[in-house]
Amino acid sequence: MTVRKLWIPVVTVLLMAASLTACAPEEAAAPADEESAGQEQPAADAGMGATATVGFRDLADGAEVTSPVKVCMEVTGVGLEPSGEVKAGYGHNHVLVNPSADEVAAITAGTMTSALVKDETHIHIGDGTDCSELTLTPGSYELMAVVGDGAHVPLNPPVVSQISITVK
């Protein structure tokens, strides 16, 4: 067989391989909505990775503030949505005010499997947004941002952040 006769089958195979690659189904993208626009959306079957983070926006560790305190969180690597349905790759924010040592240990170790309670020191931001306003009396406080699933169970691996503030 001459080189000229081999050229046509080789080019045909290469073109077929390229067209199959171009037509291969892509992984489904996470649904975008107004609340999560601009937020990193992990694949729905990916679960939480080590790259997921939460932090306090405009509220630094050691800050002195007045009440009411606007607490906003920045979340990356997790899609934010309202509480309800539990879906991998999604959650919503919680703020814990002066959490107990046992609570901090269970959440940060990823061993808490029950829903966070909802009371004056366990604030659920279950509407899928990232801000809440806290009315706090003067004093020192530990704040813990926790991303929980649709059923209010802290994500595992944990997506948490802690800061100390003083309310004047």
Q: Is residue 82 part of a domain?
A: yes
How many other CB atoms sit within 10 Å of the CB of residue 67? Answer: 13
Q: What are phi and psi of 92, to 5 degrees?
A: -145, 165
* Average pLDDT of the segment spanning 6-15: 44
> Is pLDDT above 60 for 32?
no
- 65 against 5, higher pLDDT: 65
pLDDT per position as a tens digit, 93-112: 999 999 999 999 999 999 99
Residue 102 within a domain: yes
Pick from 43, 48, 46: nearest CA to 29: 43
- pLDDT tens digits, residue range 48-97? 556 899 999 999 999 999 999 999 999 999 999 999 999 999 999 999 99
pLDDT band at 123 (very low <50, low <70, confident <90, very high): very high
Say which residues have a Cβ less than 8 Å from residue 74's Cβ, sequence separation at least 6. 53, 54, 55, 56, 57, 130
User: In angstroms, how far apart are the furthest CA atoms of the chain?
Assistant: 90
Judge whether 36 lies within some domain. Answer: no
CB atoms within 10 A of CB 76: 13
The pLDDT, as a whole number, for residue 50 is 61
pLDDT at 21 over 70: no
Range of the domain at 157: 53-167
Q: What percent of the chain has pLDDT over 90?
A: 68
Identify the pLDDT of residue 41.
32
What is the pLDDT averaged over residues 128-133? Answer: 92
- H helix and E strand count, the chain: 2, 9
CA distance 30 to 39: 11
User: What is the amino acid identity at position 39?
Assistant: Q
Say what the pTM is: 0.71
- How many other β-carbons are positioned within 10 Å of the β-carbon of residue 21? 8
Structure tokens, 110? 């990823």
| Mean pLDDT, all residues of the chain | 79
Region 33-45: what's the mean pLDDT?
34
The verdict on residue 5 lying in a domain is: no
Answer yes or no: is 31 within a domain.
Answer: no
CA–CA separation, 91 vs 36, rounded Å?
11
Backbone angles phi, psi at 50, to 5 degrees: -65, -15
Q: List the CATH number of the domain containing 102.
A: 2.60.40.10
Residue 45 lies in a domain: no
- How many structural domains are present in the chain? 1
